[in-house]
Homo-oligomer: A and B are copies of this chain.
Amino acid sequence: MDKLYIIKIGGNIIDDEAKLASFLHSFADITAKKILVHGGGKLATRLAEKLGIEQHLVDGRRITDAETLKIVTMVYAGYVNKTIVALLQANNCNAIGLCGADGDAILAHKRQHPVMDYGFVGDVDAINSVLIKTLLEQNIAVVFAPITHDQQGQLLNTNADTIAQELAKGMSKLYDVELIYSFEKSGVLLNAEDDSTVIPQIDSVYYQQLKSKQKIFAGMIPKLDNAFAALNSGVNKVIIGKAEQLEQLIAGTAGTSIINE
């Protein structure tokens, strides 16, 4: 099977013009088939503030009301997605920007919860691997904004890490998938404050040990849970590391590799 890189970039890269340009230059240089999944950075929050739209948080989680959905659709699927695509084109990388409604690429449903209403938040049901393969086979890089749809006309705000994981799972039937979560840290750290304490490799046994010793800082747990879920669903390799080191992450000389045993 052909290799497919699915790379998620965090908001801190989106917010930094120079870092984004440098990352996209490295992304464009990948000769294998590739998918980019982006979040939205601080732009959506700043736009909501300027427009006087209040952000509702329940138990620390943001609620996506109708106005917030409109804003994230504009910012994620509009400004950020198209800016990335235009920059990739300038780097001689043919790219196409999609949200989950486009070509029915990512089908989701509004999150159901016994007590909480998260608003227009989507949990993924299915990936349209046929459409995505058609594009990849024409050497087009696919750039996903974290917006899905429910086939009933409703757009839904969806976590970008989850989208990357679901894409990796869904495409692993057709490709040898490597999933890369790139963010602001150099990898999974033994000491969250010290970027030189990258753990080069974590298997599920070591992960349980790290968790029981509370060596894994809170924000990493969903990322690692996602990583192991992806490995258990056919994804070949998951790497967590710094966006600025994309080439080294791909070469296996930086970041943390998550492996099954």
Contact = CB atoms under 8 A, between A and B. Distances in A.
Interface string A178-199: 0000000000000000000000
Contact of A77 (B82, B90, B138): B82
Contacts of A154: 86
Contacts of A152: 90
Nearest to A137: B134
Identical subunits present: 2
A206 interface: no
Interface string A100-132: 011110000000000000000000000000010
Nearest to A128: B94
Nearest to A147: B82
A79 interface: yes
A186 to B, nearest CB: 29
Interface in A143-190: 147, 149, 151-155
Contacts of A140: 103, 131
- The A interface, classified by DSSP as helix, strand, loop or mixed, is helix
Interface residues of A, number: 40
Contacts of A79: 70, 73-74, 78
A37 interface: no
A82 B73 contact: yes
B75 A153 contact: no
B103 A94 contact: yes
Interface of A: 50-51, 70, 73-79, 81-83, 85-87, 89-90, 94-99, 101-104, 131, 134-135, 138, 140, 147, 149, 151-155
A143 B260 CA distance: 42
Cβ-closest 4 pairs across A and B: A78-B78, A90-B153, A74-B74, A74-B78
A131 to B, nearest CB: 7
A196 to B, nearest CB: 35
B101 A97 contact: yes
Contacts of A94: 103-104
A154 B89 CA distance: 10
Could you say which of A74, A97, A151 has the most chain B C-beta atoms within 10 Å of its C-beta?
A74
